[in-house]
Amino acid sequence: MNAIFINDGFIMNILGIDIGGTGIKGAVVDTHTGALCTERMRLLTPVPATPEAVAGTVAQLVAHFNWQGPIGCGFPAAVRDGVALTAANISKRWIGCNVRDVLQQATGCAVTAVNDADAAGYAEMDFGAGKDRTGTVLVCTLGTGIGTALFSHGQLVPNTEFGHIEIGGKEAEQWASGLVREKRALSWKRWAKRVNVYLTHMEAYIWPDLIIVGGGVSKKHDKFLPLLELKSEIVPAQMRNEAGIIGAALAAMHALPKVKRQHLAS
């Protein structure tokens, strides 16, 4: 596929990849509109999700799209300068690994790696429920774990990892994630009480003006959002399961120096 579509000196189309605890998804994204340019492709996350296994699966996705351009990757860890500092729902062997280098070697493409929840946050703030919103915005993804992205007046505070705060002696995501609801067959009402406790703690810590709830359960937001009792405004994410893919592509686009974008356009 033609990897680079350029308008006014800026790369527009970038392959976004979202690495999760259960699935690895990808699609080509128009970073100026947030639209997917291709059908989304999803492969199962390998078990165990070691660097070698995950890199191989990502390479399969890249081959599927016949991709040769920039890649943005949302990764389930705190990521600093491409290096994974934690490992959530993937092999602990990732800790200390340079995610960017591992995936670049496997794909032959330039890779930008960011925290997966931060990627979803970028998508919601640019094209979704957070568009044109100021103040403090918390994006919370409820899926295999709990991911968070915090924005202050549109600026990301990276790698917040608020899903790992302890409440009652347990990490929040161990009893309030979407996966926990499924595994324990919790009713929406019982699970909503857990989510409410978690988000009430978030309010006490950061007092957000807006909370955006995403992740796999966001498509059924009518089942639990009306049951929450919070002081902050709370809305469902609009980008749904595509948020991680779109946001990863946005991160890669912003990581490209402007001079490089202009060079590619010449």
Assign residue 34 the CATH number of its domain. Answer: 3.30.420.40
pLDDT tens digit sequence for 39-69: 999 999 999 999 999 999 999 999 999 999 9
How many structural domains are present in the chain?
Answer: 2
Average pLDDT over residues 72-85: 96
CA distance 64 to 78: 28
* Cβ-based neighbour number of residue 109 at 10 Å: 18
Residue 4 has pLDDT above 90, yes or no: no
- Specify whether the CB–CB gap between 219 and 178 falls below 8 A: no
pLDDT band (50, 70, 90) for residue 10: low
How far apart are alpha carbons 261 and 266 in whole angstroms?
Answer: 9
Q: What is the mean pLDDT of the chain?
A: 92
Nearest to 72 by CA among 254, 261, 258: 254
Are 229 and 250 in the same domain? no
C-alpha atoms less than 13 angstroms from C-alpha of 209 in its C-beta half-sphere = 11
* Same domain (yes/no): 16, 110: yes
pLDDT tens per residue across span 231-266: 999 999 999 889 999 999 999 998 887 534 443 433
- Domain around 183: 132-237
For the chain, counts of helices (H) and of strands (E): 8, 17
Same domain, residue pair 180 and 250: no
Does position 30 have pLDDT exceeding 70, yes or no? Answer: yes
Residues 222 and 163 in one domain: yes
pTM of the entire predicted model: 0.89
Mark whether 10 and 102 lie in a shared domain.
yes
Q: Are residues 175 and 139 in the same domain?
A: yes
CA distance from start to end of the chain: 20
Q: Does residue 42 lie within any of the structural domains?
A: yes
